[in-house]
Structure formats: structure tokens, C-alpha cells
Structure 1
Amino acid sequence: MPVNATSAAAPRPLLLAGFPASSWAFALRIWLAMLLALYVSFWLELESPTSAALTVAILALPTRGQGMEKAGYRLLATAIGVIASIAIAGMFSQTGGLLLAVLGIWVGLCAYMAGMLDGNRAYAAALCCITVALIAVEQIDTPLQVFPTGVARGAAIGIGVLAVALVNEVLAAPDYHPVLASRIEALHRRVVELAQGAERGQSPSAAVAASMLHDIAAVRPEIASLTTESSIGTARMAAARSALVDLVSALSLGRMLAALSAKSAPAPDAAGLTAMSRSWVRTEISRKNAQVRSSLDALREGTRPYRAWSAPLYRSRRIAAETGARAGISFTLIAIFFVLTGWPTTELCLALVAVIIGLGSTSPSPRSFTMVAIMASSIACALGGILKYLVFNGVSEFQLLAIGLAPVVIGLGLLISLPNPMLSSLSRLVLVFTLAVLAPTNPQSYDPEVFLVTSLFVCLSTTLVFAAQILLPPLSGDRRVRLLLGEARRELSQSDGGPAHHLAPEEAAFRDAARIEQILTANGPSAIDDQIADEAMRCFDQAEALRRCSAELDLMGQGPLAEAAQAAREALARQNGGAILAAAAALRQAAARSNMPASAAIAVLVAASAAFAPSQSPTDFSQGERP
């Protein structure tokens, strides 16, 4: 019996101690890059060699392009943070409480910017906050040391970046574009299956469609790393972006086809219009699928795509502002707590508080991140103590430092490579906190009092951030969902298309998909609520239908069909399915009388009438926030 090629099992990767060879290579690269960064820092007698090791831990990413993209943003954010530290320390160093207030405003501003960005750009915004914390806050009593401290930190980070780049190049770290192409191809197969099901009369649930949009939009932050991967990285990034935009467009067309298939058409004229619309949608789906395949070929070959779409990110200023305000107030409250207690040498703890708040602002759930940080800090303090007083135990030779670090760095590197996001994030934080607690120097310090104070402040900082989040809770997932859905409804009610009016329909659809991705991630990995999915997809379908109709009707602004086109626009403004279908019939008659082509406009109007059918009226669960 012949073996079905599609069902043949893929070759299993080579495993060693339960981890694939690629994970071992990744962990080994982290360890070697960290040793190189520390060795060069010791040789140059830098003031902050720990920052070089921490840079390696932060840039520990499986592919070359991902690491270099994050490295670029890390260098840029460090430069901005150093400049801000000098400015803040220079203007407010003698103002006491005003300095803490300014630092709180800076933390809130950075958290706001992190909420307006995604991927490594959001990390860069958070790092601007972290850099000020590690320079200005730690030198709060010695403002004249801000500049040399900033220069030393910048030099150490530069060495860490160069160490990562060199090790990745020498050990041939893999490129990311083959992985990205495989992911996009898998998403394309899912979109094709959805359209095929719609052709057979199978209508996928809103939760399934929303999940597919989430998976497509989630790839967006990762394609930026292609620019730093090779000289043709810019072309590959444009191809990947175009493929994602066309995937969203193809999925929306599949949804249109499913809605048309489910629509009842008792009148012969309506049946003819529906058949025309189905035929047009099928043609458009085939065209979009061909464009996705073309973009995938361009991605693999490193050539420019047929058209370089932009893939705009949806930005909720309301959510970002609330997140930034909470972050700034939390930092200020903790600073006031330290002032009231009068504890000496609390600069390190306050700096770590800003670090945790800054990193938490890049997460959909800051409280969950803080809980992970609490666990990571406890584990890191124990690992740091074991390394310092049981493994090293007073030695100062670099060779012994390298051997002692190997089990911890390589072991945590293996865990970072796991697909489990929770375990991977925890392991990365443990590695970062362990290096911060261990603080490798030349010669190595073994003062137990310093180690205990550092460990205490590391654990205290995470605990205080968690206490501040209990007193002033971060924006909840349900609140985020309500705000995002409310913004979607308000844009749907605007005749000009809202903030996305300047975008092409395909680009605006991707922006809406990015909003759905944010809705689905607002409550973490929990299953999506069916009512939320229905409401989100209803807004997505109707907004997409309105944009397509407007684009087609704009082509008829002048000529014999202008009057019928204007009547169609008025029907669209009422968002009534029956009126839109009547406008489509009137436009068909006007086109027949004038012998003018209008099949595309008629088809999208019929599809819009299905999207605004009364049976698809939403359940209003927004607690009165619907405009």
C-alpha cells in the first residue's frame, strides 16, 4: 500500500538529555558570548562588567536577526536613557522630593510609550526607563557620577552586543526567515481551509476566526528582525509584511463568502445579486491566495514583493495612558515609602523597582509579570549564593569562573529555548537576576554583607511592586477588552472610517486584526469568551465591508453612476442590511442602463448587506459604553 506523503511522520530531531541539538547550540552560544563579554570587560577594566553579561542574557535569542534587532534597540534606548539621566540629574538633583516626582513622571511616560509600541520597540521604551533608574536613581546622592556611570554602562552594553554578534557569526546562528516563512505558510493553509469550508456552506465560529487573526497579527513584531539578518533583509521584511496583510484580507473574504452562503434570498433578484457577489468573492479569494504565495516566494528568495503593504499597529491611547499613569504613581508611592522609612542605601531597591515596572509595562498583564519576577528573584538569590559561596568559594581565576557559570547559564539557556512561554520567561528572568545578584567583577567580591543586602533588595523590590499593584491595581483584562471594543464601535459609527481613513482597505483590515489580537491577549492565555469573539468579529466584518464598499464607490464619483453610488453611500451610512441590498439592486439597474461596469461595487454591497443583516445584531455586554 503506498504511503501518503502528507501523513508521513517528520523526522524527529536529535535529542540530548531531552533537548534538541538546536537548543544545546543556543545555550552554548549564550555561555560563550557571556564569557567573551566578561573577559573583554575585565581586560579593559570597565566599571560595570555585569552590564556586559546582562546584555548577553537579554539578547539571548535563538536566531541571529532577532538578537541583532534587539541589540540595536538596546543601544538606542541606552543612549536616550543616558541623556535623560544627565538632564534629570542636572536640573533636579538638589530638589529632593521634586526629583522623585520627575522620575515617577519619566517612568509613566516610558510605560505609556511602551503601550503604544510592540515587540522590541516597546522593549526600547521600557529600557529608557530602566537606564534612568540604573544611572540617575542609583547615583541620586552623587549627581556628579551620573555621566561617568552612564558612559561605563554604555561601554559595557556595547561590548555585550559585540560579543553576541561575534559568537553568533562564528558559530553560524540560524537565520529567522525560513522559520517565519514556514509559520506564514501554515497560517495560509488555515486561511485556505476556512475559505474552502465557506464554499461548502460551513461557517466557522467567530472564536476560530478571531484566533486566526490573532495568530496572523502576532507575527508582525517578529518580521522587523529580518532587516538585521542580511543585506536583503529589508526586501524580506516587506515580503513578509505583504503576506500577512494579504492573509488578513483573504480571511475577511472567506468570512464574506460564509455570510453570503448562509444568507437566505427568497426573491429572484436578490438571489441573482447574491450569486454575483459569491462569484466575485471567490475570484478575489483566489487572487489574494496567489498574492500570498507570491509574497512567500519573495520572502524565501529575498526579493521585493509585488506590492509593499504597510502593516499598521493598532494603538489605544486610552489604555496606554492608563497604564502609564498607574506605572508612574506606583513608582512614586514606593519612593515615598522609602522616604518615610528613612532606610539608608535604598537606591538599588528603588532602581530595581523601576526596572520591574518598566519591563512589566511591555506585558499585557503587569501583575502576572510581577508574580513571575517574585519567583525569579527568589530562585536567582539562591543560585547566586550557591555559585558565590559553594562553587567559587573565594577563587578569582577567570577559568574557574567560566566553569562555574557553565551549568547555570547553559541549563537556563536550555529552558529559555522551550516553547512554553511561562517557563521560558521565568528562566530568562532567573538568568538576569542571577547575574545581577552575583555581579561578576575582577577581582570577585565575597563580602557576605553586600551579598545579603543585594539579595534582600532584589526580593524587596519585586514584593513592593506587587504590593503597589494591589493598592493600585493595573488595568484589568476585562477593562482592556471593554475599551478596545468600545473604540471599535466608535470607529464603525464614523462615516470617514475613523483614524484608518488614510489606509488602503487591506492595511486597515490588518490594523483591525491587530486590535483583535490585543483583545484576545488581554486576559492572558485563557480561552476566549464567545460573546467577546462574536462582538469583535462583527465589528471587523462590518468595518471591512464598509471600507471595501467605499473604495469601490469612490471610483464612481463622476459619470452616469454617480447618483446611484451616492444613494449606496447613504444606505451604508444607515448600516441597514435591507437598504444596502436595495442600493445594490439600484446600482445594478443603473449600470445596465448606462452599459457601465460596476460588478465589483455591486458584489461588495451585497456582501455588506449580509454583514449588516439583522440576525447578526450583537449582544451588548459593554455595560453601557456603546456609543
Structure 2
Amino acid sequence: MPVNAASAAVPRPLVFAGFPASSWAFALRVWLAMTLALYVSFWLELDSPSSSALTVAVLALPTRGQGMEKAGYRLVATVIGVVASIAIAGLFSQTDGLLLAVLGMWVGLCVYVAGMLDGNRAYAAALCCITVALVAVQQIDTPLQVFPTGVARGAAIGIGVLAVALVNEVLAAPNYHPVLASRIEGLHGRVTGLAQAAGHPSATAAASLLHDIAALRPEIASLVTESSTGTPRTEAARSALVDLVSALSLGRMLAALPTASPDKVGLIAMSRSWLQAEISRKNAQVCSSLEALREGTHPHHAWRAPLYRSRRIAAETAARAAISFMLIALFFVLTGWPSTELCLTLVAAIIGLSSISPAPRIFAQVTVTAMPIACALAGILKYLVFNGVSEFQLLAIGLAPVVIGLALLMSLPNPMLSSLGRLVLVFMIAVLAPTNPQSYDPEVFLVTSLFACMSAVLVFAAQMLLPPLSGDRRVRLLLGEAGRELDHLGRGRTRHLAPEEAAFRDAARIEQILTANGALPLDRQITAKAMRCFDQAETLRRCCAELDRLRQGPLAGAARDAREALARRSGRAILASAEALRKAAARSKLSANSAIAMLIAARGALAPSQSPS
């Protein structure tokens, strides 16, 4: 009965045609913002009004902060891309083949930078590549028009951003911080439940939890643009995530403590007591940070959440992107087809967007599917719905069903369908290219559609010829880098990061390992190896940090001996050094419980028989 009463008390969301009211509100905001952006662009007689509508399609996100953060990065990337377009066109406009090579290198550079970032920062790096393609490539035969084209694109994007901001404000688009707080609270419950489970936590379950925690990092940045309290909320959310990783790693240390021998019962009991107290303190800090996130105040301690990125993976991905672009450009040079600027532009755009996708090949496949659908929808709108009309009211009404329908598709939880809806909307606006007055030349439309579809097919073909970095290779590179860092830690070489921040950085690497193969499940042995590296690295960092606090004073000698025992990875020597440190602390009437506890935990983590399932 209580369960039924509780469930009855929870209001059910309003649903219409299979979509909740929140999805309909989101779709309506997208259509209104796109209509407003086009109206203002037509009124100002901009050269590129479709860019404002494209901006709305790109910034179509369910919450206010997410859209505004992406808008800020879009504006910055547009400025950088326009400046790069002017420089490239000014220096290489008369060099033909060299110009295409330089554009290929720029594509590779942007993809490399995107590979070293995450979230909307990575999107901004990819957009720098897209902007150069839209400005420099499309004006490849008229370099003097690069600057006016760049200015027109920047103006249109600014109008699109303002339209999205105004509509979101007037229609009260929801904030993201309540959703984020709820998700972090759910992760906290999972961390607590994993720590309370009997036995050693499963490596697969722990890795999955680290993946979910680290995956929230890019979404935190959107809180800054959400309201005047965005900055403290960002700090609170970041601190909560870092403390969650710390609580999880401490729980695994507690579960991995060695079996008590008669002469070491006191040391192990001391370690267990300290770890339990530290876990309780971390859980309290998570709760405090969640409270600060909800209230919009600064947390008690503001942690950084550093991102882990592999330079090797970013460089190999960039090289493949640059070679793919130059191969496709060479194909057009050899065929001698005229008016291929649009195709090259879309090729650069698809390559740039696929570089920030977890699975580039799947993204290319979705693009191959989305492009014909977008062209068909654009053709239906232009020649069956509009059919020669030029009134703006009819344009807005004709766009409504398609834009609202695709926005509803974008709101679905299925990532494949959501991505398909967004790509179809963006490509449809690009092919339709609303202008004032609207052009109805069927030959131009057919050529545009043909080259648009060809661009997606050519990128997919280039990936077949030069496959993206495989998931298995990504995993091998990431595990190899984790092993090398662990060796450096064993030799006493540490980064200038607090142990909690370094633990989050390692959690971000675990997240990349788990997503390297897309939706395919990872091999249990690989997961166990990744988690073993994670456990050992966090234990060594914390142990070294505690011993570093004892470098000065009467316990310096015992701390130095303990560091040497850690470097040798000898369990017996580590236990002996912990006992020696305990006796030295007793003689000096000082407390070294934290260092002793971490030494015992290091003994458990470094034991050869330790292999969590």
C-alpha cells in the first residue's frame, strides 16, 4: 500500500502523440527561434540568411544554459575561422594544389585540437574547420570575397544566437542545474551502494560508474551561462564529481586491504578505521556540494576536474582527417568537375563533426542516411509546399511541421534517432537555403542535392579506404599510457595535481577506454587491467602525498624508508615500513595514522594476487 500511495502521489507528465509536453515545448521553441532568425535576416537583407537558421538548428538544446554555452563557443570559433580564412586565402589563393594542401592541414590541425578537448570546446575546434570550409573553400575562385562572406556569416550567426536567447528567455526554457543535481545524486547513491556491497567491488561495475561520473564533466560548463550564479554552481558540480571519484577509489582501497596476520592486526585495523572515516568525510563533502549546486553558492572546497587526452590518439586522428580531405580534393581535381565548392565544404564539415563523435564511422553512416532524407524534405518543402510563394508567413507555416517534427525526434532518448534528427534538420536547412526572394531553380537544387549526397558518400568511402582509429588500438594506447604513468609514480615522479584531481583525470581515461568501441561491451580482462592501474595509481598518489607531509621533522627518516619500500613494490617491506613509522610516531608522540593507513592500502593494491573480477 505505501508503494502504491507514493507512486500515485507522483504526477505523471503530460503526453501528446507519444511525446511529453517538455518535448513539444522544446520543438516549439526551435521553430519560433528559427522563424525569428530568418525574419530578422530577411529584414536586414543579409547575404547569408540561411546561416542564422542553421545556427538555431545547431543550438537546439533542451535547456537554456546548454544552448548559450554552445552559442558562445560558436561565435568564438566563427571569428577564429574567418581570420584563418582571410590568412589562407591571402597567402595561397593563386597556388591551386598548395591551397588544397593547406586546407587539408588546417582540417587536421582543427581535428587535433578537438581531440585534446571535450564538450563544446571540442565543437568549437571542429567549427573552426567548418568555418574555413564555408568561407574560404566556397570563395576559392574569388578570394576578394572572403572577408565580406566571413562578415555576413558572422552577422547571421549573431542573429541566430540572439533569436535562440530571446525565445528561450520569453518561453522560460528550463535550467539544467536541477537535472544535473539529480543525476549527481543518483551517482552518489550508486557509489554508496557499491561501497556497501559485500566483497570487493566488481571491476566492471566500478569502471561503469567511473565512466558515468566522468561523462558529466563536459555538461558542467553549461551552468556558467545559465544564470548569475552559474560560476559557483559549476564549481559545486565539479567538486561533487571529484569527491565521488575519491569516495569510490577509497572504497576499493578499503575492500582490498590485506588479510590480517596476528602481528599486523593493529595496523590493518588502523587503516580500516581511517579509510572508513575518510569515505564518510568524502560522502559528506558530496552532499555539501550538492546543496551548494542547488542553492547557487560556492562549495566548501573547489576542486579542478582535469581532462585526460591522449596526444597520440589525437595526432593519428588528425592525420587521417587531413589525408581524407586531401584525397577527396584530389578526386575532384582529377575529375575536373565544375562547382564542387559545396561538396568540399560539406566534406570538411562532416570530417570536423565526425572527429568529435565517439564513433566516427557510425557518424559517417548516419550522415549517409541523413543527407538524402534532408534533400528529399527540402525538395518537398520547396516544390510542393512553398511552390513558388515568396510571403514570409507562408514560409514560416510551411517550415513548422518539418522543424517541429525533427525537433521532437531530437528530444528522444535514443542517441541514434536523436543524432539523425539533428543532422537531417541541419542538412535540410543547408540544402533548402531560405533566401529573400526564394529561388526555385530546379537545376540548381538538383546539383546542390547531388553534391550534398556525394559529400557524405565520399567521406564514408574515404573512411573505408583509410579507416578511423580502431577501438582496440585506442584501448591499447590508453592502457599503455596508464602503465607508463604508473611506472613513473613508482619511481616517485608525480604530477602537480592533488590526489583527488589526479583520480578524476584517471577516471576520464577509464571513460575513454570504455567508450573506445562504441556501444560494444568491453572485454572483462581489459576492464580489470584498467581498474587495476587506476587502483594502484590512486593508492600510490595518496600514499606519496601523505608521506610528503612527513618529510620535515622527526618522522622524516621513517617516511623516506617507506618511499623506498614503495619504489621496490615489496609488500613485506611496505608492511615493515608502516610498522616502523607507527613506532617512530609513538616515540615522538605524533600522529601518522593517515600515512600508515595508506601504506597498508598500498600493500593491498600492489599485491600480486590482487585481480578484481
Tell me whether the two structures share a fold, i.e. TM-score over 0.5: yes
Which of 581, 586, 601 lines up with 2:595 in the alignment?
Answer: 601
| 1: CA distance, partners of 2:404 / 2:246 | 43
How far residue 12 of structure 1 moved from its aligned partner, in angstroms, is 2.0
Partner of 1:341 in structure 2?
Answer: 335
Matched, 1:230 2:212: no
Partner of 1:478 in structure 2?
Answer: 472
The TM-score with structure 1 as length reference comes to 0.96
How far residue 390 of structure 1 moved from its aligned partner, in angstroms, is 1.1
Which of 302, 312, 321 lines up with 2:296 in the alignment?
Answer: 302
Matched, 1:515 2:512: no
How far residue 573 of structure 1 moved from its aligned partner, in angstroms, is 1.2
Note if contact 1:352-1:461 (Cα within 8 Å) is conserved in structure 2: yes
Q: How much is the aligned-residue C-alpha RMSD, in angstroms?
A: 1.5
How far residue 601 of structure 1 moved from its aligned partner, in angstroms, is 0.4
Q: Which amino acid aligns with 1:561?
A: L
SS at match of 1:345: coil
| 2: CA distance, partners of 1:351 / 1:495 | 46
How far residue 525 of structure 1 moved from its aligned partner, in angstroms, is 1.5
| 1: CA distance, partners of 2:253 / 2:324 | 46
Matched, 1:125 2:125: yes
Q: What is the 5 A alignment of 1:379-394? A: 379-394=373-388
| 2: CA distance, partners of 1:326 / 1:245 | 34
Alpha-carbon spacing, 1:113–1:154, altered in 2? closer, same or farther (3 Å): same
| 1: CA distance, partners of 2:132 / 2:177 | 35
How far residue 495 of structure 1 moved from its aligned partner, in angstroms, is 3.4
SS at match of 1:140: coil
Which of 259, 264, 268 lines up with 1:264 in the alignment?
Answer: 259
Note if contact 1:568-1:580 (Cα within 8 Å) is conserved in structure 2: yes
Q: Which amino acid aligns with 1:597?
A: S
Q: Which amino acid aligns with 2:355?
A: S
How many percent of aligned residue pairs carry the same amino acid? 80
Q: Any idea what the Cα deviations from partners look like across 1:294-325, whole Å, max 9, x if unmatched? A: 00010011101001100000011010011111
SS at match of 1:527: coil
The TM-score with structure 2 as length reference comes to 0.98
Alpha-carbon spacing, 1:582–1:496, altered in 2? closer, same or farther (3 Å): closer
Matched, 1:547 2:541: yes
Which of 417, 427, 439 lines up with 1:433 in the alignment?
Answer: 427
Alpha-carbon spacing, 1:56–1:499, altered in 2? closer, same or farther (3 Å): farther
Partner of 1:187 in structure 2?
Answer: 187
| 1: CA distance, partners of 2:575 / 2:145 | 72
| 1: CA distance, partners of 2:11 / 2:524 | 38
How far residue 424 of structure 1 moved from its aligned partner, in angstroms, is 0.5
Partner of 2:267 in structure 1?
Answer: 273
| 2: CA distance, partners of 1:462 / 1:345 | 17
How far residue 498 of structure 1 moved from its aligned partner, in angstroms, is 9.0
Number of equivalent positions: 613
Partner of 1:246 in structure 2?
Answer: 243
Note if contact 1:491-1:498 (Cα within 8 Å) is conserved in structure 2: no
| 2: CA distance, partners of 1:334 / 1:426 | 24
Partner of 1:569 in structure 2?
Answer: 563
| 1: CA distance, partners of 2:499 / 2:5 | 39
Q: What is the 5 A alignment of 1:328-407? A: 328-407=322-401
SS at match of 2:238: helix
Q: Which amino acid aligns with 2:313?
A: I
SS at match of 1:117: coil
Alpha-carbon spacing, 1:361–1:2, altered in 2? closer, same or farther (3 Å): closer
Partner of 2:170 in structure 1?
Answer: 170
Note if contact 1:104-1:328 (Cα within 8 Å) is conserved in structure 2: yes
SS at match of 1:314: coil
Note if contact 1:535-1:618 (Cα within 8 Å) is conserved in structure 2: no
Q: Any idea what the Cα deviations from partners look like across 1:345-391, whole Å, max 9, x if unmatched? A: 11110111000000011012211111111111011111111111111
| 1: CA distance, partners of 2:494 / 2:507 | 13
Q: Any idea what the Cα deviations from partners look like across 1:449-489, whole Å, max 9, x if unmatched? A: 11111111111001111111111111011110100000000
Partner of 2:102 in structure 1?
Answer: 102
Q: Which amino acid aligns with 2:89?
A: A
SS at match of 1:141: coil
Matched, 1:159 2:156: no
Which of 438, 454, 470 lines up with 2:448 in the alignment?
Answer: 454
Which of 515, 521, 532 lines up with 1:527 in the alignment?
Answer: 521
Q: Any idea what the Cα deviations from partners look like across 1:67-93, whole Å, max 9, x if unmatched? A: 000000000000000000000000000
| 2: CA distance, partners of 1:453 / 1:579 | 75
Which of 205, 214, 230 lines up with 1:208 in the alignment?
Answer: 205
The gaps in structure 1 that reach 5 residues or longer are 620-627
Note if contact 1:557-1:565 (Cα within 8 Å) is conserved in structure 2: yes
| 1: CA distance, partners of 2:432 / 2:220 | 35
Moved more, 577-586 or 25-34: 577-586
Note if contact 1:191-1:247 (Cα within 8 Å) is conserved in structure 2: yes
